[in-house]
Chains A and B, each alone.
Chain A
Amino acid sequence: MDGDRGLGSTEFAAAEKELVAEVLAGRVERFYELVKPCERLVFITAQEILQNEADAEEVAQEAVLKAFRNLRLFRGESKFSTWLYRITVNEARMRLRKRREVSLDELMEADGAEETTYAPLQLADWREIPGQALEQRELQTQLAAAVASLPDNYREVLVLRDINGLSIAETAEALSLSLPNVKTRLLRARLMLRDSFIAQCSGSTRGAVGKGRK
């Protein structure tokens, strides 16, 4: 599973660089072409951090406008999308902080406690949900609820890495975290997501997910 699901990455980077240069040279109407490929994931990033659709849309718009106003600061060392996700994460965190009126330190609590032992739910027969089962609205809702149940710092990593498909390095960059830190959080996030999802499923849709389904 490679994190980079994009086009041929060197050609993509070259095209992107050219587009950035054009916008900076005055063809500002082309800015949206930079945003379009990642607008869905910008919204999802905001949505998964904030857990509120109206706030998420506003934050996504703010992030895009901020990227537009600050395009000169984009160095091109990373992908435009990674840079935009980083702005989005920061905007969403600020909004969250305002909403909760807690300090940022509290929000990004230390990772010291993350080495605690984990005991997975023992469900040896729960192996696979066929992709087509996702046509069911209920399963989508449960999966979203499982993601929503994760603590903030794990959810951020999971959203960027597993939902948006960033590499570990890009995730680290977007969140200003070290690589080992991203990996530790990702491990915890994935294990918790799995447990939470199983709990959601066994709570209400035995029939939809269980072994009986082909």
Chain B
Amino acid sequence: MISLSCEEVWRQISDYIDDDVTPGTRRLLEAHFAQCRHCAALVDSVHNVVVLVADERVFTLPAGFSERLRQRLELQISGKRSDGS
């Protein structure tokens, strides 16, 4: 079986995480991960960071954001109405 170099593996890591690789490529990548602890650690840690960054606790809205947005929107809406449009 052909094997992949570490650099070839790095190029595929994002697609691998997104499950956007062919079954053949997936087998090659997983064969590489089984042998190369550096790449195995890399894919795990990239995956881990991608999961963490999606966590709602990391990026939050400032207090009162929604209220201020609604107020501005209502101003715009009432302005539009009073234009007679």
Contacts and interface: CB of A to CB of B under 8 A. Distances in A.
**B partners with A:** yes
Interface in B38-84: 38, 41-42, 44-46, 48-55, 57-62, 65-66, 68-70, 72-73, 76-77, 80-81
B17 interface: yes
A208 interface: no
Given A39-B65, A186-B14, A131 B55 contact: yes
Interface string A27-63: 0110110011001100110011000010001001100
A198 B46 CA distance: 10
Interface string A162-205: 11010010000000000000010011001101100110000000
What's the dominant secondary structure at chain A's contact region? Answer: helix
Contact of B80 (A28, A32, A40, A147): A28
Interface string B1-43: 0000001001101110111100000000000000001100110
A124 B37 contact: yes
A35 B1 CA distance: 52
14 contacts: A39-B66, A39-B69, A60-B65, A120-B38, A120-B42, A122-B38, A140-B58, A147-B53, A163-B53, A163-B59, A168-B18, A190-B49, A191-B14, A193-B50
Interface of A: 1, 3, 28-29, 31-32, 35-36, 39-40, 43-44, 47-48, 53, 57, 60-61, 64-65, 68-69, 117-118, 120, 122-129, 131, 134-135, 140, 143-144, 146-147, 158, 162-163, 165, 168, 183, 186-187, 190-191, 193-194, 197-198
Interface of B: 7, 10-11, 13-15, 17-20, 37-38, 41-42, 44-46, 48-55, 57-62, 65-66, 68-70, 72-73, 76-77, 80-81
